[in-house]
A = this chain, B = another copy of it.
């Protein structure tokens, strides 16, 4: 773990290591992923079956084997206990309500001369959601991807998830039933991304692909980008915490560990002007680690990628955190809203002592699919807008084009585009 002070002579090097966190070596798998994509483009379902046999260790005999039956989803849903069921319904309802509020609207504006300008917002026709499978199959990931697509109004929603040994995760199946999705395919990795981007006999081609995944999935998403749209290229999870003396050290430590337990590559970074808090959190990390079933993963993450930085003041802490641009940012200070204006870059901002990051993973409402590795400087959380697109609207009356047509024709002429010029001039009254 990096345990440092911003005044330390080694700080610059240490901080630069943090800025470089989560960089994925996409180039290292480009050839492998390129081959997988080519195979899917050429051999379609046959290639899918080969890849499933190789990676998931089971053999689909016929095309129908690739799809999960709606009956099995219903059965999985019926089998979960009532408390979990109502918790998942609470999550569904809150996530839906939040995403409905962010749904963009078509708009237009008029000018008295008969000009109408605006934007029409429409859903994409189809979306493909990738949900990791096996042990790390999270029903919450399904909710977070399906709901924004549904709120957007996407007609065709396809889900792909790997099922190692042909054993789907029952909770994921239950979540599929709860969300009302029915086109769910037992396909994973780069093959799934390629299948949704280009279509196979079984899996329809989609317009937008979203969802988390490992480096092969991330690389495949990058490679098909342009032929379809994608949400973002995401890496390991991470948390940044800005805290002052009012923070509870034990809470800060377990919050850091809630990221660390995801993945050995996860980063947990606390920045505080309080040396006292820094020391206490360091000690609390060890206390908590001993209690965690996923101690081994969390310990390695904290040791190799954790950091506690003590700064001169909160302004410096915020400034450093803006450079980090963390996926999740907790603001555990006495007056967290006072810092909101100064915070420029973060996927999601959790304000105050009663807002642990985990509340946003499940039930708060906002999406938990967020930009990682500093890409919060330019990417947004997954949302309804990822499943919609805009068309500009332009309508001119006779008098409107007469009013500015001459200027338009002149610029076109200056750019040497005569047909542009003429297409305006023929509509002008003399």
Contact = CB atoms under 8 A, between A and B. Distances in A.
Interface of A: 26, 83-84, 86-88, 90-91, 94, 98, 101-102, 104, 107, 109, 115-117, 119-120, 122, 124-125, 135, 138-140, 171, 207-208, 222, 225-226, 228-229, 233, 250-251, 254-255, 257-258, 260-262, 288, 291-294, 298, 329, 336-337, 340, 343-367, 370-371, 375-381, 383, 385, 389-398, 400-401, 404-408, 410-412, 414-424, 426-427
Contact of A379 (B258, B348, B353, B389): B389
A390 to B, nearest CB: 4
A343 B106 CA distance: 13
Total copies of the chain: 2
A357 B348 CA distance: 41
A225 B229 CA distance: 12
A190 to B, nearest CB: 15
User: By DSSP majority rule, is chain A's interface helix, strand, loop, or mixed?
Assistant: mixed
Nearest to A389: B380
A119 B91 CA distance: 19
Given A288-B422, A380-B391, A381-B390, 14 more contacts: A83-B410, A84-B414, A94-B404, A119-B366, A291-B418, A329-B391, A351-B393, A354-B397, A356-B401, A356-B427, A358-B421, A362-B412, A362-B420, A363-B404
B418 A294 contact: yes
Contacts of A84: 410-411, 414
Contacts of A294: 416-419
A383 B390 CA distance: 10
